[in-house]
Chains A and B, each alone.
Chain A
Amino acid sequence: MILSALVKMMSKACNRTSCSVAIIGSGPTGIAAALELKKSGITDIIILEREKEGGGVPRHCGHPPFGLHEYHRILTGPVYARRNVQTVQDENIPLLLRHSVTSLGPNGLLEVVSPEGGMQIDAKRVLLATGTRETPRSARFVSGTRPLGICNTGALQAMVYLKNMVPFRRPLVVGSEIVSFSALWTCKKAGIQPVAMIEKEDHPQVRRPISLACRYFGVPLLLNTTIEKIIGTERVRSVQIIQQDNQREVTCDGVLFTGRFVPESSLARLGDLTLDATTACPLTDKHGRCSDPAYFAAGNLTHHPVRVAGQCFKSGRIIAKEIYKDLDSAGG
């Protein structure tokens, strides 16, 4: 707490501050890395988080299981996220909320914006832990109009769990990855009854028994089915689907595009770090180091396919050890 006040004061005074390690993102990865670095004896760490609450994606995953490895019990996402945040606070690691990193400069020079103003952080090492998100409708090139009622699971969960609101009542769910089934769970909790879940392959993208969840939720799973066109002016009215060459129209009031994860690597891309051509994850060596040696990346920003929170937490710990070794050998 004292340290974070100090960082704030310093940043206000000169708009520039330095630290050993700056961590971008307070999801499981960033938190785990911070805790591990602290444990190794590195004290001047800063976690930068653009949201007004720390914790990352689990904040809006209102379901278990989270925290089994970290806390030896089964928690829901929001409880897990709060617990993570509490732990770094107990360790006196500054977690700067509403701090958006806007650019990654050479050698770890970060541009950061907060409601108090802009500042530069000169970090010896930077950990990118900005996570992953789902591909929106636009980048999927789906035909049709662009009415209200179209979103990803992330937005749905944030609306339901953080704001107590719902974007639709009877959506069509596109995709059958694990996250698609979390979406069904979220729908159930919020009183949303999806009209169907569609999957373009001939099998769901998850193993039994999860795939049986459709039956539990009372949502028909249509395989070999693609979305052909979205119809509606103000709000979604219906969707044309093609099921094994047969076209039909399904009445619904929304379309939920689930999964097809893409790394949130836009900062890295704009900052000229090399990205993997197929996954768009920052390209890292076996130590998790990016093309600019001041930068490291871990967690779901680098995992393709994506992993669960516990695995990201682990990957945060591992990267912290790498960063520690690197700093140590550099004499820092």
Chain B
Amino acid sequence: MITRSNSDTLSCDRRRILACADVVIIGGGVVGCAVARRLTLEGATVLLLEKAPDILDGASKGNSAILHTGFDAPPGTLEWKCVQEGHREYLEIHESLGLPLLKTGAMVVAWNEEEEKRLAAVFEKGGKNGVDDLRLIGQNEIHQLEPNLDPSARAAIYVPREYVIDPWSAPLAYLLQAVENGGKVLCDAEVTGGSFDGHHWRLETSRGLVKSRYVVNCAGLYGDIVDQRLLGESDFTIMPRKGQFVVFDKAAAKLINSIILPVPSARTKGIVLFPTIFGNMMVGPTAEDQKSRDDASVDTQTLSMLAEKGKTMLPGLADIPVTATYAGIRPATEESPYRIRNDHERNWITLGGIRSTGLTAALGLARHVHSLLQEHEVEFIPLKKPLIPKVPNLAEHLPRDYRTPGFGEIVCHCEMVTSREINAALNGKLPAHSLSGLKRRTRVTMGRCQGFYCSARLAEITRGKFRDSLGVGEDDV
């Protein structure tokens, strides 16, 4: 049995080693961030490596931000277990970390006879999954709960505990808690190769060599490639599946209270209509298989289809302008279950193919990793009094920064982002290293005008801060 490392066994003072830790986590998506937090709390020293300039650059960049109950998960699977565990733990920790929760509830709505017939099976599955507060509701109750929904909604299952969260602040808070308690993060550090000597991993990164006992591969859309690079093989192949979204302006939020889910098919959760934590209303995602792991392009036809679809479900949307459009890419594989590799011999764990429930399941997956490490007979000594940092609130239903005097100026008027918030996001323990990282931390330019009013000021504030900046050739106008 190995106990918590001390600096002798894992010293970094060798000239060529950039950093070392008990556990290296490859990938700063939501899964990697949650694993970093859990293992830090359990007493491990962790080092998270992210190839992009900032965290959340892969699948976790664009999702629906729904905290699932797992009512429709495949029963008895690890996914089901981690979703439920993730849901539970999020509720337990969100307040202390300053993370918001919008208790929307969801409705699985049948729009035609055929879908209505399938509702029973969904209901039954929910029961099997231990989600025992589902209710079958008829047209009257649908109308009571959602008076603006198109009256063609025939029947529904009400899922009280499906909620909406902040998809970027959550992973940020997880990683921040790791960092506050001694964890390390290296961005711009792509893992390109490495070797295992029977005790330790030496990983080659684009910033230099790092060393660890254990490696957890949380590389999301690149999970298979990382396994191939370091283990010489992979049990799965990532088959990227894109999902496009249309975001409607804040006035739409008052049209609806809950998440409107379609009756699921085998392949996807289907197109959802849902409020966001930022006070908008969204329609999406699609499920489009593609080769590219990075190309999150949107296309005119699909966006129009989504907007139309939204308007059929919620006719009031016709009067609401579109704020934004975007796409996210799911790290799907040739099979639907999560692809977990637990390589005892090589001190390696892969959390692969966390396709479409990872935002919720991440906290559960992190616990699962800890239990797998215990199987490796690693015992860390849990932190007795871990620090609990709070992240700034971006949720519309809770007081935003501009409500507190002394905020400097409002930079982004549509999203009411203050210069105090921007400065905080540019500094601190996990500062934004890219413009998109700054957007995810503050929402600057993400509102209805998309930078018409504020991008000049933002360009000025962020001048020289990022590799890719709003201004080009800076001062030679």
Measured CB to CB, the residues of A under 8 A from B are 50, 52, 60, 98, 100, 102, 113, 115-118, 133-134, 136-139, 141-146, 148-149, 151-152, 154-155, 158-160, 162-169, 190-191, 229, 233-235, 253, 262, 264, 266, 269-270, 275, 277, 280
Contact = CB atoms under 8 A, between A and B. Distances in A.
B57 to A, nearest CB: 11
B266 to A, nearest CB: 29
Contact of B453 (A117, A133, A165): A133
A143 B452 CA distance: 20
B477 A100 contact: no
Contacts of B297: 143-145, 229
A266 B450 CA distance: 14
Nearest to B418: A115
A159 B294 contact: no
B410 A50 contact: yes
Interface stretch (B31-39, B148-156, B162-170, B322-330): B322-330
B470 A148 contact: yes
A253 B470 CA distance: 12
A165 B299 contact: no
A148 B300 contact: no
Contact of B405 (A115, A149, A235, A270): A115
A136 B451 contact: yes
B76 interface: no
Given A163-B456, A169-B473, A141 B300 contact: yes
Nearest to A99: B410
B319 A143 contact: no
B415 to A, nearest CB: 11
Contact of A280 (B321, B323, B409, B472): B321
B26 interface: no
Contacts of A133: 449, 452-453
A61 B240 CA distance: 45
Interface string B303-326: 110010000000000011111111
A266 B326 contact: no
B408 interface: yes
23 contacts: A50-B410, A50-B413, A98-B409, A98-B410, A115-B408, A117-B405, A133-B453, A134-B452, A136-B450, A138-B450, A141-B298, A141-B300, A141-B325, A142-B300, A143-B299, A155-B453, A162-B456, A163-B457, A165-B475, A166-B471, A167-B471, A269-B251, A277-B319
A138 B474 CA distance: 26
A44 B295 CA distance: 56
Contacts of A143: 297-300
Interface residues of B, number: 56
Given A100-B410, A162-B456, 14 more contacts: A100-B402, A134-B452, A139-B323, A141-B322, A142-B300, A143-B299, A155-B453, A159-B456, A165-B471, A191-B476, A229-B299, A235-B468, A262-B321, A275-B319
A116 B403 CA distance: 10
B249 interface: yes
Nearest to A191: B477
Interface string B412-455: 01101000000000000000000100000000000011111101
B463 interface: yes
A52 B323 CA distance: 25
Nearest to B323: A138
A233 B470 contact: no
B322 A113 contact: no
B473 A166 contact: yes
Nearest to B446: A138
Secondary structure at chain A's binding surface: helix, strand, loop or mixed? Answer: mixed
Contact of A159 (B408, B410, B455, B473): B455
B397 to A, nearest CB: 14
Contact of A165 (B294, B307, B324, B463): B463
B459 A266 contact: no
Secondary structure at chain B's binding surface: helix, strand, loop or mixed? Answer: loop
B452 A190 contact: no
B300 A165 contact: no
Nearest to A102: B416
A202 to B, nearest CB: 21
A190 B251 contact: no
A215 B436 CA distance: 37
A112 B304 CA distance: 36
A270 B250 contact: yes
A118 B473 CA distance: 39
> In the complex, which of the residues A100, A141, A234, A253 has the most CB atoms of chain B within 10 Å of its own CB atom?
A141
A229 B300 CA distance: 9
B472 A168 contact: yes
B198 interface: no
Contact of A164 (B303, B403, B435, B477): B477
B296 interface: yes
A155 B407 contact: no
B460 interface: yes
Given A165-B460, A169-B472, A190-B477, A152 B294 contact: no
A167 B459 contact: yes
Nearest to A154: B452
Nearest to B419: A115
Nearest to A275: B319
A327 B385 CA distance: 64
A241 B75 CA distance: 49
B456 A158 contact: yes
Contact of A113 (B406, B410, B468): B410
A168 B323 CA distance: 23
B452 A164 contact: no
A60 B471 CA distance: 17
Nearest to A134: B452
> In the complex, which of the residues A52, A98, A164, A169 has the most CB atoms of chain B within 10 Å of its own CB atom?
A164
B414 A165 contact: no
Contacts of A116: 405
Nearest to B414: A266
A52 B178 CA distance: 39
Given A133-B453, A169-B472, A145 B295 contact: yes
A234 B408 CA distance: 30
A267 B476 CA distance: 38
Contacts of B251: 266, 269-270
Given A98-B410, A115-B405, A145-B296, A165 B452 contact: no
A234 B52 CA distance: 12
A136 B470 contact: no
Given A138-B324, A139-B323, A115 B470 contact: no
Contact of A137 (B295, B450, B457): B450
A133 B321 CA distance: 13
B472 A166 contact: yes
B453 A115 contact: no
A146 B451 contact: no
A158 to B, nearest CB: 3
A262 B322 CA distance: 12
A158 B325 contact: no
A146 B300 contact: no
B63 to A, nearest CB: 16
